[in-house]
């Protein structure tokens, strides 16, 4: 049935009922709800309600054991919300599920570093961090306008709708959409626009597609319930008309993760806007442009509609503009240095994150070199590090027999003409090369060890060593890289 | 002399413990070490979020580098107070569910009590993300150390990696994600949205024992006994760690501790002089060159030296060149030849029959009947193998099979084909068989002659 394949059924209502019956609401004892998890409500009733007074010996022992160790670690700001009496873990869990306990992080003991004490490079580095999203994104004005007019229109018309936004990673999709939402929320606070709710889910932050219901419901009410329950409650909310319902904007990030074979979650998320009672506007974000046609079913694609927007990768000019906008008026970067980063990154992916990370690395390099300003050389070094190809370096740093082994694999590929060679053929080549170079030949057992070591590094791709002489070996580096690494080394050694 | 024996026992224990349990001493890698150290320091002090991948071949000192950096930093009070360290291992945390529970426990979040985590997988993930989202520059930095990072890439949807990298790229609690792996192409394993969120800092650790001199110096360092003052300095460093009692270092309870050892000056002088001389000798150099040619990693050398040190006895108080060469001969030896030499003559005859078959038909697969026919031809005219029954030969054949000297062509066909007719291949080279025949003790001349030529 439907329940069988979702999350293990662990209804909170059920356990609340049971807890109320057994522990009379306020007793400070608890047992980990292990055994009860799978039982149905009848079982739980039979187990607990008649015998709630006279407990079985094992049960009392367990309870007393847990009661003794009721020292619960309480930390952070949440400790203030807790009363003086110690809370047992299950009570705490209940509070977490009810949303009464706000999750918190441990605080630092010292104060953060003062702004005025930071150097110019440090300030630039902080400004260049990917997390510092600017108030208005440069080079995305058109897309901003597009999404803004769509959402504003939907909110004003008080109808539902869908939009699909796509583009390769790092092209400012989520940042633009949340920017639009922020602008709209500002308008709402100035009473220039009708009020609306904003919900947000991310496919990659869910353990499975159906948890989307849980997260949406949690953002509406703050409570955590099982997905079945959340689903029915959401269904009720969106399908039954209610007076003074405000428009809800739902942002769905990483849409492709929410697609499973049945596609029931995506269908529901896109079907609700079509109901007149819902007033739901769904904005979906994904990477691939043709996702609706490629992955989604016909009816889902049809509901997704044709309001679409594609974010193109940044060009080198745009990337340059982004970085200079981040830097503000700071003199920490030379103009041509930024240009070099922009051109190199735009040629590969057009990913803004990549450009910002490389710039940040360049400031670090300049910092260690004790320079005040990031020049071309620093950027050059940062580019070398971050668009790294370390294979030649790895081959150069292999031991001598490993190098011979790599040469042998390359020789065997040349000899047979096919990419895939067996260990036996390679070993014959090793014998030949070792004899030629005057090195003592390793026995096959040790050659297998060399092979496994190179395979772990992924310089070659090899099977499990249990296949012994018959395992297949593929070269994972190009044969030219091997020759380059070993020849250049030889020439350097000769000089 | 009982004192000398005492001293020697102490020296042996000292050397062994230093080889095995010294988790924090890192040799070389100055630049890489300062790179990682600065990154962690900035995460702790400035509240920057970062991510880094440490890549290098197995045995290159990746874990030692992290341990060394952490020991350096943990002496610093401001680092200890402002950071939480979360260790994860791809071999232990085989899926996101287990990893997430471990994170919850190690960060001491509120849904964990005494190492037990409450709630389902989905709830745990949601709670962790909420906690991290609630944090800002004022909250503690979290350093995630993911060992065997490539195994985390195999998890479903790479959810954990996406979320960790996503937190490091957004304005939430400051975290630093440190991946450690031996695969060079690990970035290609990441999904493109995860790859985009990763900051592409990679630190490569290739053993810098590129030159043989550095390698011999390392040998000396591992084998010689330091002076008492040096011992004291290292002991002080370890003591400062013990004082911290930090949970971040799970190795400090059982770390090598130099303070227990104090050597007689004369003994140390004697020891070091003898072994420095021994290591200089050409024979020793040749042995180490052999090891170096095979594997340049420190782990391999340590293994070798441990076996060497374990041979120290009161009646043989020094490591001699002979011991060194004898041990290296063990390393060079071929295990399969040893195995062949342990077979009975009948089994060796079968191996020879298989070898003849392979030579004639160019490594074609064979079954028992083929081998038995070839063997019977030889047994009929031999003087010693006349009375061997078929069932005994079959037993010998099975013996070879479970010794994996011969291997079945495919594992699937076991049920279908009778065992006398199942096809096999030989997992030996001709050279190995030849050497085994030469080295076999008391091999009948007939068999030795038959091994030379398949003509009878």
Predicted ipTM? 0.94
- Across residues B346-359, what is the average pLDDT? 96
Indicate if the pLDDT at residue A25 is higher than 50. Answer: no
A276-332 pLDDT per residue, tens: 999 999 999 999 999 999 999 999 999 999 999 999 999 999 999 999 999 988 888
Best of B108, B141, B165, B184 to substitute, by most chain A Cβ atoms within 10 angstroms, is B184
Best of B110, B161, B176 to substitute, by most chain A Cβ atoms within 10 angstroms, is B110
Residues near A184 by Cβ (< 8 Å), separated by ≥ 6? A148, A151, A152, A155, A193, A196
Q: Which residues of A touch B48 (CB under 8 A)?
A: 125-126, 129
pLDDT band at A269 (very low <50, low <70, confident <90, very high): very high
Whether residue B207 and residue A397 make contact (CB cut-off 8 A), yes or no, is: yes
Nearest chain A residue to B171 by CA: give it. Answer: A131
Q: Which residue of A92, A349, A401 is in closest CB contact with B110? A: A92
SS3 per-residue string spanning chain B? CHHHHHHHHHHHHHHHHHHHHCCCCCCCCHHHHHHHHHHHHHHHHCCCCEEEEEECCCCCCHHHHHHHHHHHHHCCHHHHHHEEEEEEECCCCCCHHHHHHHHHHHCCCCCEECCEECCCHHHHHHHHHHHHHHCCCCECEEEEEEECHHHHCCCHHHHHHHHHHHHHCCCCCCEEEEEEECCCCHHHHCCHHHHHHCCCCEEECCCCCCCHHHHHHHHHHHHCCCCHHHHHHHHHHHHHHHHHCCCCCCCHHHCCCHHHCCCCHHHHHHHHHHHHHHHHCHHHHHHHHHHHHHCCCHHHHHHHHHHHHCCCECCECCCCHHHHHHHHHHHHCCHHHHHHHCCCHHHHHHHHHHHHHHHHCCCCCECHHHHHHHHHHHHHHCCCCCCCCHHHHHHHHHHHHHCCCEEECCCHHHCCCCCCCCCEEECCCHHHHHHHHHHCCCCCHHHHHHHHCCCC
Give me the pLDDT at residue A491, please: 65
Q: Which residues of B touch A364 (CB under 8 A)?
A: 38
Q: Which residue of B127, B195, B292 is in closest CB contact with A399? A: B292
Residues near B338 by Cβ (< 8 Å), separated by ≥ 6? none
pLDDT band at B264 (very low <50, low <70, confident <90, very high): confident
Query: What is d(CA A453, CA A430) in angstroms, rounded to the nearest whole number?
Result: 16
**Is B439's Cβ below 8 Å from some Cβ in A?**
no
Nearest chain B residue to A114 by CA: give it. Answer: B46
C-alpha closest to that of A474 among A409, A427, A411 = A409
Whether residue B55 and residue A390 make contact (CB cut-off 8 A), yes or no, is: yes
Q: Which residues of A touch B161 (CB under 8 A)?
A: none
Structure tokens at B292: 């170096």
pLDDT band at B75 (very low <50, low <70, confident <90, very high): confident
- Across residues B377-392, what is the average pLDDT? 92
Give me the pLDDT at residue A255, please: 95
**Is B353's Cβ below 8 Å from some Cβ in A?**
no
For chain A, state the CA radius of gyration: 31
- Across residues A152-179, what is the average pLDDT? 94
Give the number of A-B residue pairs with CB atoms closer than 8 Å. 239
pLDDT band at A114 (very low <50, low <70, confident <90, very high): confident
Q: Which residues of A touch B202 (CB under 8 A)?
A: 385-386, 388, 390
Residues 7-36 of chain B with CB under 8 A from chain A are 34
Indicate if the pLDDT at residue A37 is higher than 70. Answer: no
A456-473 pLDDT per residue, tens: 999 999 999 988 899 999
Q: Which residues of B touch A390 (CB under 8 A)?
A: 55, 184, 202, 204, 206
Whether residue A457 and residue B84 make contact (CB cut-off 8 A), yes or no, is: no
Best of A37, A78, A95, A106 to substitute, by most chain B Cβ atoms within 10 angstroms, is A106
Query: What is d(CA A457, CA B69) in angstroms, rounded to the nearest whole number?
Result: 24
Nearest chain A residue to B297 by CA: give it. Answer: A399
- Across residues B247-258, what is the average pLDDT? 74
Q: ∠ CA B363-B369-B370 to the nearest 5 degrees?
A: 30
Contact (Cβ atoms closer than 8 angstroms) between residue A200 and residue A219: yes
Q: DSSP letter string over A38-62?
A: G--HHHHHHHHSTTSSS--HHHHHH
Give me the pLDDT at residue B76, please: 84
Domains of chain B and CATH, by start: 28-204 (3.40.50.300), 211-332 (no CATH), 337-452 (1.10.10.10)
B83-89 and B202-204 as β-strands: parallel, antiparallel, unpaired? unpaired
Burial class (CB in 10 A: 0-12, 13-18, 19+), B361: exposed
Contact (Cβ atoms closer than 8 angstroms) between residue B54 and residue B205: yes
In Å, how far is A424's CA from the nearest CA of chain B?
A: 8
The continuous run of DSSP H or E covering A421 comes out as: strand A421-422
More confident call, B225 vs A15: B225
In Å, how far is B297's CA from the nearest CA of chain A?
A: 9
- Across residues A352-358, what is the average pLDDT? 95
Give me the pLDDT at residue A47, please: 41
B271-308 pLDDT per residue, tens: 999 999 999 999 999 999 999 999 999 999 999 999 99
Average pLDDT along chain A: 84
Q: Which of A42-56, A153-167, A252-266, B287-301 has the lowest mean pLDDT?
A: A42-56
C-alpha closest to that of A431 among A412, A416, A454 = A412
- Across residues B53-59, what is the average pLDDT? 94
**Is B202's Cβ below 8 Å from some Cβ in A?**
yes
C-alpha closest to that of A270 among A299, A294, A293 = A299
Average pLDDT along chain B: 91
pLDDT band at B413 (very low <50, low <70, confident <90, very high): low
Indicate if the pLDDT at residue A3 is higher than 70. Answer: no
In Å, how far is B212's CA from the nearest CA of chain A?
A: 11
- Across residues A28-54, what is the average pLDDT? 42
Query: Which residues is B51 bridged to in the sheet?
Result: B177
Give me the pLDDT at residue B417, please: 85
């Amino acid at each position: 049935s439907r329940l069988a394949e979702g999350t293990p059924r662990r209804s909170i209502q059920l356990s609340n009922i049971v807890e109320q019956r057994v522990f009379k609401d306020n007793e400070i004892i608890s047992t980990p709800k292990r055994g009860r998890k799978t039982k149905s409500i009848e079982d739980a009733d039979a187990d607990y309600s008649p015998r709630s007074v006279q407990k079985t010996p094992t049960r009392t022992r367990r309870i007393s054991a847990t009661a003794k160790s009721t020292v619960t670690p309480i930390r952070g700001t949440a400790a203030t919300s807790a009363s003086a009496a110690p809370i047992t873990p299950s009570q705490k869990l209940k509070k977490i599920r009810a949303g009464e306990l706000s999750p918190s992080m441990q605080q630092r003991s010292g104060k953060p570093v003062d702004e005025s004490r930071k150097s110019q490079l440090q300030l630039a580095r902080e400004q260049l961090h990917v997390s510092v999203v600017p108030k208005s994104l440069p080079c995305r004005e058109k897309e901003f306008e597009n999404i803004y007019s769509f959402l504003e229109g939907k909110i004003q018309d008080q109808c539902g709708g869908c939009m699909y936004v796509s583009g390769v990673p790092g092209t400012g999709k989520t940042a633009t959409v949340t920017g639009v939402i922020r602008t709209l929320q500002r308008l709402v606070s100035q009473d220039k626009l009708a009020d609306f709710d904003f919900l947000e889910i991310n496919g990659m932050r869910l353990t499975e597609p159906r948890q989307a219901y849980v997260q949406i419901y949690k953002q509406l009410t703050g409570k955590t319930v099982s997905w079945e329950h959340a689903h029915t409650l959401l269904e009720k909310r969106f399908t039954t008309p209610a007076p003074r319902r405000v428009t809800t904007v739902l942002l769905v990030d990483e849409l492709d993760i929410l697609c499973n074979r049945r596609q029931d979650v995506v269908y529901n998320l896109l079907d609700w806007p079509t109901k007149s009672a819902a007033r739901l506007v769904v904005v979906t974000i994904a990477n691939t442009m043709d996702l609706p046609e490629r992955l989604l079913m016909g009816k889902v694609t049809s509901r997704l509609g044709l309001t679409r927007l594609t974010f193109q990768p940044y060009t080198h000019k745009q990337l340059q503009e982004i970085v200079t906008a981040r830097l503000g008026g700071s003199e920490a970067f030379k103009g041509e240095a930024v240009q070099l980063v922009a051109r190199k990154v735009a040629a590969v992916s057009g990913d803004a994150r990549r450009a910002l990370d490389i710039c940040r690395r360049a400031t670090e390099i300049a910092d260690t070199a004790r320079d005040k300003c990031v020049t071309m050389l620093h950027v050059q070094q940062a580019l070398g590090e971050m668009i790294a190809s370390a294979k030649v370096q790895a081959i150069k740093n292999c031991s001598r027999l490993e190098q011979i082994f790599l040469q042998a694999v390359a020789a065997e590929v040349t000899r047979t003409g096919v990419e895939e060679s067996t260990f036996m053929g390679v070993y014959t080549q090793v014998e030949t090369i070792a004899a030629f170079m005057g090195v003592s030949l390793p026995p096959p057992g040790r050659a297998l060890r060399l092979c496994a070591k190179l395979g772990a590094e992924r310089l070659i791709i090899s099977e499990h060593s249990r296949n012994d002489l018959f395992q297949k070996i593929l070269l994972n580096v190009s044969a030219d890289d091997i020759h380059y690494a070993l020849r250049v080394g030889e020439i350097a050694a000769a000089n | 002399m009982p004192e000398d024996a005492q001293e020697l026992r102490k020296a042996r224990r000292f050397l062994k413990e230093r080889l095995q349990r010294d988790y924090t001493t890192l040799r070389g890698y100055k630049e890489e070490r300062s790179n990682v150290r600065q990154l962690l320091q900035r995460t702790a002090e400035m509240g920057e979020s970062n991510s880094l991948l440490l890549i290098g071949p197995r045995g290159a000192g990746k874990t030692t580098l992290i341990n060394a950096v952490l020991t350096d930093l943990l002496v610093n009070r401001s680092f200890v107070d402002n950071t939480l360290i979360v260790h994860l291992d791809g071999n232990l945390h085989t899926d996101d569910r287990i990893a997430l529970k471990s994170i919850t426990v190690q960060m001491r979040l509120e849904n964990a009590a005494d190492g037990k985590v409450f709630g389902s997988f989905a709830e745990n993930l949601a709670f962790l993300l909420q906690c991290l989202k609630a944090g800002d520059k004022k909250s503690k930095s979290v350093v995630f150390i993911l060992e065997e990072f490539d195994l985390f890439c195999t998890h479903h949807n790479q959810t954990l990696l996406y979320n960790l990298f996503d937190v490091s790229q957004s304005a939430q609690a400051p975290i630093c994600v440190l991946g450690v792996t031996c695969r060079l192409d690990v970035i290609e394993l990441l999904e493109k949205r995860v790859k985009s969120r990763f900051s592409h800092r990679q630190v490569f650790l290739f053993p810098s024992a590129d030159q043989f001199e550095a390698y011999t110096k390392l040998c000396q360092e591992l084998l010689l006994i330091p002076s008492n003052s040096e011992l004291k300095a290292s002991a002080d460093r370890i003591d400062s760690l013990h004082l911290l009692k930090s949970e971040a270092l799970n190795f400090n309870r059982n770390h090598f501790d130099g303070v227990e050892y104090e050597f007689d000056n004369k003994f140390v002088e004697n020891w070091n002089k003898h072994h420095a001389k021994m290591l200089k000798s050409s024979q020793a150099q040749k042995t180490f060159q052999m090891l170096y040619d095979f594997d340049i990693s420190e782990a391999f050398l340590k293994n070798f030296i441990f076996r060497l040190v374990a041979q120290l006895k009161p009646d043989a108080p020094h490591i001699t060149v002979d011991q060194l060469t004898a041990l290296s001969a063990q390393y060079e030896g071929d295990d399969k030849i040893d195995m062949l030499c342990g077979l009975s003559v009948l089994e060796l005859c079968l191996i020879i029959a298989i070898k003849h078959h392979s030579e004639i038909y160019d490594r074609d697969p064979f079954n028992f009947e083929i081998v038995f026919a070839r063997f019977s031809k030889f047994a009929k005219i031999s003087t010693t193998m006349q009375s061997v029954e078929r069932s005994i030969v079959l037993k010998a054949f099975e013996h070879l099979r479970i010794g994996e000297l011969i291997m079945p062509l495919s594992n699937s066909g076991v049920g279908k084909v009778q065992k006398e007719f199942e096809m096999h291949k030989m997992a030996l080279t001709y050279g190995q068989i030849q050497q085994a025949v030469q080295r076999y003790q008391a091999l009948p001349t007939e068999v030795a002659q038959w091994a030379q030529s398949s003509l009878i």
